[in-house]
Amino acid sequence: MVINMRSFTDIEKNRLTKLDRLRERGEDPFPNEVNRTHNIDQAISLLVESQSGFENESDDNIQVVLCGRLKSVRTMGKLAFAHIEDVTGRIQLLLRASEIGKERLKQFATDFDLGDFVEATGYIMETRTGEVTLNVSSFRIISKSISPLPASKEVQDDGESIVYSAFDNVESRYRERYADLAVNPHVREIFKTRSKIVTSLREFLDRRDFLEVETPVLQPIYGGAAARPFSTHHNQLHQDLFLRISFELYLKRLLVGGFEKVYEIGRDFRNEGVSVTHNPEFTQLEFYWAYANYIDVMDLTEQMLSFVAEQVCGSVIVNYQGNKLDFSPPWKRISMSDALIEYADIDCFNSTVGQLLDYCEQADIRKNNDITKGKLIETLFSKHVEPNLIQPTFIYDYPKDISPLAKAKHDNSEIVERFEGFIGGMELCNAFTELNNPVDQENRFIEMGKNYSKDSDDAHPLDLDYLRAMDYGMPPNGGFGMGVDRLVMLLTNQSSIREVILFPHLRSKE
């Protein structure tokens, strides 16, 4: 037995003893090569196509080599039944002493454990009860499981070891996602769906001639959103850098360079609180579209998300937390001002800062020192309106002082052409008619510097290189950003963002 620094339970020590026994017999429990010829789904399909049956044991039987994780074992004298599972499904194994020998059958019963990966050779048949089965002629272990997979119960039922009620402690599942995936097939389905969602987003944008690009993750100046960054240091260049909080300012530089439609799907990092809809590291989709405005982007957004829902779920009607969400266009559209009047009877844009502070106090909303009129309006909106936006809804026309990168409306300089999309009571996306006047943009940055303290999460640092790019001329454009994780929540009916992120960040166990 290998001696190391880790401590093992009695069950794990027993499995390590089995590991040594395998080696003593000359079996390699971790071979370099496997000989799989088919996955389980392919093997089952071969049987269906050939219409092979239990009584058919001629030379025409379909010989295959299958690999998978051992999920159940039942011994019955000179017979043993087991199930293995791969990514495509599960199949029964039949091991007979008359075929593999009594000693080999005994070794299987004593040295193989649930969770082990095995390679089994034999022919596919159907039992009298109609179960597709591999009649095993030889087998070997290809990866020994030292730790038993987590389960609420692992019981013997008529000689069969069966796993019931795979562990469901939420924090344990997130900390050991590898084990969660191994024992909970429905969790694997969430992440298969996630992959389909990202593929569908790409397909939609690619069809419309958007170019997928990659921009820096490490940035000398963070920007494009109101968030606190993670910081790091480049030793060779002696530079302090930041993990990006947005792709926006780099993607818009590409419009200056001559591209007209660009997008990126990647990771953003925001050093802020966690909740059921927030994770410090998350996946974002952003696109920028020259010669378009926020109305054009609004139209494209509802087309894109209805397309993704149809592709992934087979329908534009999606069940989410007891609600039937209808992604089909057109979505409801209402201004932020009208929404606050409708849901809270607050005429926010015609109210003074003092009146807005009173509304916040009445709603028991905590305020901080870095408060502006626009921030108060946004806070009241989040409290009174956002939870009511269950069906897909666009809220448009936002205060300028919380939207430093958006173009002001031509008839009201205090309101900008910005919208956010809400579904299921949470914000899904954010978009602007992008500001392309470098002088106006510089003044916005300076004004925000006056309104917010240096350490405020809502302050935007002055990015001189971005202004330099704008000086060369940026075409009018519409921009869009969406949290992909939240879209996955909606399309997989998950109430927590941690359920749709493979490895969410957690507090240390201590």
| pLDDT above 90: residue 159 | no
**Residues with Cβ < 8 Å from 355, sequence gap 6 or more?**
none
pLDDT digits (tens, 9 = 90+) for 372-421: 899 999 999 999 999 999 999 999 999 998 998 999 999 999 999 999 99
Q: Which position has the higher pLDDT, 510 or 103?
A: 103
| pLDDT above 90: residue 274 | no
Task: Return the amino acid letter for 329.
Answer: P
Q: Tokens at residue 264, please?
A: 């990126």
CB 183 within 8 A of CB 115: no
| pLDDT above 80: residue 453 | no
pLDDT value of position 328: 98
Q: Tokens at residue 169, please?
A: 């402690």
pLDDT value of position 317: 98
Q: CATH 3.30.930.10 residue ranges in the chain? A: 187-331+391-500
Q: CATH 2.40.50.140 residue ranges in the chain? A: 10-166
pLDDT digits (tens, 9 = 90+) for 17-33: 999 999 999 999 999 99
- Read out DSSP for 185-202? HHHHHHHHHHHHHHHHHH
Quickly count: other Cβ atoms within 10 Å of residue 419's Cβ.
26
- Read out DSSP for 321-334? TTEEEE-PSSPEEE
Range in 371-385, 424-438, 448-462 the model is least confident about: 448-462
Pairing of the two strands 332-335 and 63-76: unpaired
pLDDT value of position 196: 98
Q: Which residues, listed in sequence order, are joined to residue 364 by a DSSP beta bridge?
A: none
- Read out DSSP for 69-91? EEEEEEEETTEEEEEEEETTEEE
Of 446, 452, 438, nearest to 374 (Cα)?
A: 452
Exposure of 332 by Cβ count < 10 A (0-12 exposed, 13-18 middle, 19+ buried)?
Answer: exposed
Percentage with pLDDT > 90 across the chain? 79
Reported as a pLDDT band with limits 50, 70 and 90, residue 56 is very low
Pairing of the two strands 231-234 and 408-409: unpaired
Dist. CA 308–CA 285, nearest whole Å: 13
Tell me the CATH number of domain 187-331+391-500, given options 3.30.930.10, 3.40.630.30, 3.30.2130.10, 3.20.20.70. Answer: 3.30.930.10
The three-point CA angle 198-336-436 to 5° equals 65
| pLDDT above 60: residue 136 | yes
Give the CATH fold of the 10-166 domain: OB fold (Dihydrolipoamide Acetyltransferase, E2P) (2.40.50)
Q: Which residues, listed in sequence order, are joined to residue 281 by a DSSP beta bridge?
A: 269
pLDDT digits (tens, 9 = 90+) for 237-246: 999 999 999 9
Phi and psi based region of residue 473 (left: phi greater than 0; alpha: psi -120 to 50; beta: remaining): left
Chain-wide mean pLDDT for the chain?
A: 91
Reported as a pLDDT band with limits 50, 70 and 90, residue 489 is very high
pLDDT value of position 449: 73
Residues in the chain: 510
